[in-house]
Structure 1
């Protein structure tokens, strides 16, 4: 359930909502789009998928314009755990059953190629992005899971990965078993992407920050429109906004948003578990480390997945923090942040031609928590599609893969039932406050103002800020996240600032401002 506004917010350590990657990398100041322009390709979104695509196309001789609503590599990519791996949990046995041995092999080859692509680019550009080659493990502490782990190791090995089943790891606790895959990597994603950005602009392409795209006209050529009215005309358009900001392909019906929490703190270098780890049992726990300037390591722990706008984030942060301190000799909790992902209904990312009628529009989405390898993969795959040299795994990732719709149907129906429950049920639920006067400082709640449901936040000084409680994407009601102090939509994951500004799509329009002392009006939000 959403947070109770009477529960005080989490006592925050330094940098509660700022990630290690953002704090330890440079800033950017690329100019907003200030005129109409024409390029070969316009890329919408400046995360790892968008910048990888732009870099690959620029190096192939295309002129590219990247349009980013905020700052590049500061959205979803800036809050990742930055595991660069083809080991995506217990994935390959499932792929072998649903896609056959060939499908599992194509998935493994494409994801491993992405891992190796980053190494190649780092060497070519001489990027110091803390790239470290380490093994990746999927483990369990339940002995009943040993057969499944052995089967996964065999499936991953048959798919071409350097995989093995082990029962000893570098973790400071015993495990029942684990799938180990060698030849994987971890890195500093922002340092890597800022180097890509500098290189592609040096080759003549452009990046425009603080440039939100609000419209797309497909055709020959295509045209995208920004919120300030400027347009970019291009032969090809790539939508790489994490969750697509355009609904024409109905991809929102094939994905579900998931938010995960992250805590991090320093450990001595000799206590590094020497690898990347994930356990998907229960609330899931993911572990890796990163180098710190003083020679110690930053332990990064991820878990506590939930649908945006549906959980008590403060309590979940406490649970994750308790787990980290109970299992590792962490000296302090230095960071807390949150990441967001979209899970595709058939577990395979959607990368390629946007929809069945598209000719020059492409999309990259549905990375399911593995955006580093999938984002790099997307960049190369889409660039090759535009350059008329599709790789052998094109069909596997094709968003138009209608042959999988029947297999996806049960998951899709379950996802849409949950969306419908929020769309209708949240309107029927009685608000837990009757007046904005009841909202304590630092918290927010959905209340009625003038007969309309409004999202009201009271800041630390006691001043209330009111906006519409209806998400501007498809109209679901938002809920307040007391830790990050944001409004979140449980239907498709849009997130808004307390002033109504868009923090994360698919919404592209801000929440409408409301007058906290406005007159009574009909309850139009209830429709």
Structure 2
């Protein structure tokens, strides 16, 4: 599978969703009962639940609905999250593992009910989920944890994959679907129920109070009794959640395969930097096979090399695969591996957050929508404490993961500035490449486009000031500290940054 050939396209979900005109930004200041910041799976799920419960809701999306992280997922809806249950029984005990399994499983059942209720055509397929190991030494990690947590799990030694495994945990009754088709239908129903959606509306400020006040980059004020921050990585740092979240990018390569040869279930292993396999309907006797893996911290890897490595694995295990798409997705891992869903910080009375889904944002986002809507209405939820962002502090419970993350951030903040003192000159930068160079006492992120034209922006991320690095494969500047991403001209591609990189003169 040579995915660098001409004609390889981006996210299949964005390409094949029905075309929709962007919803315009608000024309002036507005007041609403609940403002939801973010139009991905967590934000739209929360907004839809609240509208259904009779609340007046507005969704504020910086770009397009379901076009960010959710639009680049592999779209597996499962409660079997690799090795999470072995981790949870050690860190949260059997009850914590049980609540996690219950809440994630209920999210899948809830989504199935929504698809049926609204008649959503989103290629919904029930499937089994497998976590497998090829290394016999890892089999014991798989064997019992998921079943003890209450999942209908069984241990097997054979799968439909075209290679042998040492063992696998199988959970039936899971699902896979087209995430953008699902969410666009949810947004349509939200509007029919009286909710409002505003796209290309970047929120840059929040003042908590009664009411709360949000400010957009266009100078519009949105007054709301309740605010939900569902921007994947929170764009407001008052809760210091950036100390408990680490960003991770992961690559996807996809290609068509004969329907008879395509696996119908979902398979993942933590080995080899993660390998995930699933397929989706494609037509003409074909299915689209999606292969995911090669996770890395943004701004720290040769992404072309990583794509080549994943493509080589595809060639080895699925010979004859015809390439058609490749893209990358970004996730945030919490330092204790459990999402942060609930009040934004200990003093919050009317602001909520949903983040840290660790690569499992579909079930997690649907769960978060139900949980936050219940919290807004004052209803008790059995698993609220498990996900509460105010839970016991990271040093006490999350220990080494917290310290390791902070050490990595410090290393990038200080160490990344040293190479720029003796690094490349602008004239050394090749077409379609970029580098951080020092010009006139400033660290500048300099990019040369395919025509040879140079452009420069500040290399300091506008979130907390770490230096960005260039991702040639995706033509983007990336912050290795907290995952903000920018276009070559400095425009924001992904938060938590809310301001673009400033222009610099060469």
Q: Give the TM-score, by structure 1 length.
A: 0.94
Distance 1:295 1:24 in 2: 18
Aligned pairs for 1:260-275 within 5 A? 260-275=250-265
Q: 2:353 aligns with which of 363, 368, 380?
A: 363
Q: 2:64 aligns with which of 71, 91, 111?
A: 71
- The Cα of 1:141 is off from its aligned counterpart by 0.6
Indicate the SS of the match to 2:174.
Answer: strand
Indicate the SS of the match to 2:401.
Answer: helix
- The Cα of 1:172 is off from its aligned counterpart by 0.3
Q: Does 2:125 match 1:132?
A: yes
Q: 1:276 aligns with which of 266, 286, 290?
A: 266
Tell me if structure 2 keeps the 8 A contact 1:267–1:329: no
Instruction: Quote the RMSD (CA, aligned, Å).
Output: 1.2
Distance 1:33 1:410 in 2: 45
Tell me if structure 2 keeps the 8 A contact 1:13–1:334: no
Q: 1:486 aligns with which of 476, 484, 494?
A: 476
Q: Does 2:88 match 1:98?
A: no
Q: Does 2:160 match 1:200?
A: no
Q: Which has the larger displacement, 431-440 or 342-351? A: 431-440
Distance 2:133 2:8 in 1: 32
CA-to-aligned-CA distance 1:189-238 (integer Å, 9 cap, x gap): 00000000000011111110000000000011111000011111111000
Tell me if structure 2 keeps the 8 A contact 1:214–1:227: yes
Q: 1:216 aligns with which of 186, 196, 206?
A: 206
Find the counterpart in structure 2 of residue 53 from structure 1. 46
Find the counterpart in structure 2 of residue 86 from structure 1. 79
- The Cα of 1:71 is off from its aligned counterpart by 0.4
Q: Does 2:230 match 1:240?
A: yes
Aligned pairs for 1:258-407 within 5 A? 258-402=248-392, 405-407=395-397
Flag the 1:330–1:353 CA change in 2: closer, same or farther, 3 A: farther
Tell me if structure 2 keeps the 8 A contact 1:448–1:454: yes
Indicate the SS of the match to 1:32.
Answer: coil
Distance 1:473 1:329 in 2: 44
Distance 2:301 2:40 in 1: 26
- The Cα of 1:438 is off from its aligned counterpart by 1.2
Find the counterpart in structure 2 of residue 4 from structure 1. none
Find the counterpart in structure 1 of residue 19 from structure 2. 27
Flag the 1:212–1:129 CA change in 2: closer, same or farther, 3 A: same
Q: Does 2:442 match 1:452?
A: yes
Aligned pairs for 1:144-155 within 5 A? 144-150=137-143, 154-155=144-145
Distance 2:5 2:182 in 1: 29
Distance 1:485 1:45 in 2: 24
* Structure 2, gaps ≥5 residues long: none
Tell me if structure 2 keeps the 8 A contact 1:431–1:446: no
- The Cα of 1:432 is off from its aligned counterpart by 6.8
How many residues end up aligned between the 2 structures? 503
Q: Does 2:418 match 1:425?
A: no
Q: 2:465 aligns with which of 475, 499, 502?
A: 475
Find the counterpart in structure 2 of residue 414 from structure 1. 404
Find the counterpart in structure 2 of residue 525 from structure 1. none
* Structure 1, gaps ≥5 residues long: 1-9, 517-527
Q: Which has the larger displacement, 288-297 or 252-261? A: 288-297
Q: Does 2:162 match 1:169?
A: no
Runs of 4+ in 1 over 6 A off after TM superposition: none
Flag the 1:171–1:44 CA change in 2: closer, same or farther, 3 A: same
Q: Give the TM-score, by structure 2 length.
A: 0.98
Aligned pairs for 1:171-190 within 5 A? 171-190=161-180
Q: Which has the larger displacement, 140-149 or 473-482? A: 140-149
